[in-house]
């Protein structure tokens, strides 16, 4: 009997423990930085034991990402059977379900937003199909409430609402669950009701910036293109050297390695966004006008260099720890400056709520840019601007505008 009582039995929820540990590890460090040993250590088992549950790290990663998409799909399945439901009530029920699912997975929800590119092709298709289904369900009440919307407009609005909800996975702003629910419910309902500026096929297109001159700038620019197209870990120094037309050894005259290139690019975008804040706040004392100028500047920077915006959003986990700390401090200062303006324009916000909507606005610019394929025109920027402003201060105040001759220019080459 004593011998039998000393036998260690496998916990009945071992599979769930492994799934949680894998999702947490991938969410914190990214797919490539996590090993089977890391996950096994979190569960308290050996790597050999872990392999008895899953054949590879990829399978654990795939299951974690697909589970998140599955949560969103499952929590909105009730829409398929909804009949004779008031469209406002149905919209609110869908938003509430999506917010609850995202809150329940806040620590790992960023996986499908930032790491899904590392799924193989078939799994990416499956995830995209899950998210399309969620969008279509959100569009069911939208069709009834706004029958005048085009299909493109419905996708824009449903995608914007999902982006704002998902953005709480991108930051650690401390808010009570009740505050988050109220804030996200208000903002997403407003977004679905935004009157989008009309599209004009003859709208002026903004030209991309000049091709980089000089080896240092060329290495930075070509690296970003490759990181964007292939992913950071799928890009080698030899790939970068070939794109620039120099030897790999020549790159080491400018950078100590690939992570140094990534850090330099990230520091550049953080410094430029921070400089925009400083320049605008110094020139414009009115918080309403200053916030409007900041929104325009942020959108302009994102669309002027979409590869940098995308890579910045998706590859941050690959920075060295020291660079992560520096970047995080610059980001915090920038978010704090924006949040101070938002709180000044909307005094009913506390600072934490203001920070939350600022993070949502930043994520929205990136997500909408990806949705429209970064087609950079006056129309596109006007539409993104309307949605971002709604996210920051609510639909009732989206009429905030500034005259064209405000005298404050943002130099995108700075």
Q: d(Cα 199, Cα 175) in Å, to the nearest integer?
A: 37
Q: What is the 3-state secondary structure (H, E, C) of 152-188?
A: HHHHHHHHHHHHHHHHHHCCCCCCCHHHHHHHHHHHH
Would residue 214 be called left, alpha or beta, if left means φ above 0 and alpha means ψ between -120 and 50 degrees? left
Domains of the chain: 19-192 (1.10.357.10), 215-397 (1.10.357.10)
Rounded CA-CA distance 389/220 in Å is 32
Which pLDDT does position 307 carry in this prediction? 79
Report the mean per-residue pLDDT for the chain: 87
Which has more confidence, 171 or 98? 98
Higher pLDDT, 166 or 205: 166
Counted residue by residue, the chain has a size of 414
Higher-pLDDT residue of 232 and 140 is 140
Indicate the pLDDT class of residue 205, thresholds 50, 70 and 90. low
Q: What is the tens place of the pLDDT at every residue in 238-280?
A: 999 999 999 989 999 999 999 999 999 888 888 889 999 999 9
Q: Which two tokens stand for residue 309?
A: 């915006």
Residue 376 has pLDDT above 80, yes or no: no
Q: Quickly state the pLDDT bin for 362 (edges 50, 70, 90).
A: very high
Position 296 scores a pLDDT of: 95
pLDDT, one tens digit per residue, over 288-299 is 999 999 999 999
Average pLDDT rounded to a whole number, residues 107-113:
79
CA gap 12, 44 in Å, rounded: 15
Beta bridge mates, 377: 205
H helix runs in 193-320, sequence order: 215-230, 237-244, 248-251, 258-283, 287-304, 306-314
User: Per DSSP, which regions of 341-383 are E strands?
Assistant: none
Contact present, 18 and 35 (Cβ < 8 Å): no
Task: List the single range of 56-65, 331-340, 388-397 with lowest mean pLDDT.
Answer: 388-397
Kindly report, residue by residue over 49-82, the tens digit of the pLDDT: 999 999 999 999 999 999 988 999 999 999 999 8
| Complete DSSP assignment for 58-125 | HHHHHHHHHHHHHHHHHHTGGGGG--S--HHHHHHHHHHHHHHHHHHTTTTTHIIIIIGGGS-HHHHH
| 410 has a pLDDT exceeding 60 | no
pLDDT at residue 212 tops 90 = no
**What is the structure's pLDDT at 211?**
54
So what's the pLDDT on residue 407?
44
pLDDT computed for residue 378 by the predictor: 84
HSE at residue 64, side-chain half, CA atoms within 13 A, is 35
Among 7-11, 213-217, 319-323, the minimum mean pLDDT is found in 7-11
% of the chain beyond a pLDDT of 70 = 89
CA count, 13 A, side-chain hemisphere, 391: 29
Residue of higher predicted confidence among 109 and 238: 238
pTM of the model: 0.86
Q: For residue 321, what pLDDT band results from cuts at 50, 70 and 90?
A: confident
In degrees and rounded to multiples of 5, residue 302 shows phi and psi of -65, -45
């Amino acid at each position: 009997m004593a011998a039998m009582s000393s036998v260690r039995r496998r916990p009945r929820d071992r599979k769930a423990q492994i799934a949680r540990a894998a999702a947490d590890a991938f969410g914190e460090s990214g797919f490539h930085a996590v090993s089977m040993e890391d996950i096994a250590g979190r569960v308290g088992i050996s790597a050999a034991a872990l392999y008895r549950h899953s054949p590879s790290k990829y399978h654990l990663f795939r299951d974690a990402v697909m589970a998140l998409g599955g949560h969103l799909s499952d929590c909105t399945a009730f829409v398929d059977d909804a009949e004779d439901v008031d469209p406002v009530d149905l919209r609110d029920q869908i938003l509430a379900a999506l917010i609850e699912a995202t809150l329940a997975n806040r620590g790992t929800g960023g996986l499908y937003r930032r790491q899904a590119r590392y799924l193989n092709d078939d799994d990416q298709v499956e995830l995209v199909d899950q998210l399309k289904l969620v969008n279509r369900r959100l569009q069911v009440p939208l069709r009834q409430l706004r029958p005048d919307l085009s299909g493109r407009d419905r996708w824009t609005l449903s995608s914007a609402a999902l982006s704002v909800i998902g953005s709480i996975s991108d930051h650690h702003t401390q808010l009570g669950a009740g505050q988050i629910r109220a804030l996200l419910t208000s903002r997403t309902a407003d977004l679905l009701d935004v009157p989008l500026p009309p599209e004009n096929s003859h709208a002026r297109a903004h030209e991309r910036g000049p091709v980089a001159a000089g080896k240092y700038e060329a290495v930075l620019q070509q690296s970003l293109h490759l990181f964007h197209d292939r992913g950071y870990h799928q890009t080698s120094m030899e790939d970068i050297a070939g794109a620039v037309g120099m030897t790999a050894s020549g790159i080491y005259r400018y950078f100590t390695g690939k992570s140094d290139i990534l850090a330099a690019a990230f520091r550049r975008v953080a410094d430029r966004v921070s400089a925009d804040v400083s320049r605008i706040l110094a020139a414009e004392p009115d918080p309403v006008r200053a916030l409007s100028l900041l929104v325009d500047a942020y959108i302009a920077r994102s669309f002027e260099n979409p590869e940098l915006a995308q890579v910045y959003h998706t590859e941050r986990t690959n920075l060295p720890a020291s660079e992560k700390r520096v970047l995080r401090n610059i980001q915090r200062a920038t978010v704090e400056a924006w949040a101070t303006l938002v709180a000044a324009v909307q005094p009913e916000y506390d600072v934490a709520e203001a920070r939350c909507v600022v993070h949502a606005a930043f994520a929205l610019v990136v997500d909408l840019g990806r949705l429209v394929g970064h087609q950079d025109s006056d129309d596109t920027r006007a539409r993104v601007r309307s949605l971002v402003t709604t996210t920051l201060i609510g639909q009732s105040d989206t009429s905030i505008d500034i005259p064209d001759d405000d005298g404050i220019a943002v130099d995108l080459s700075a």
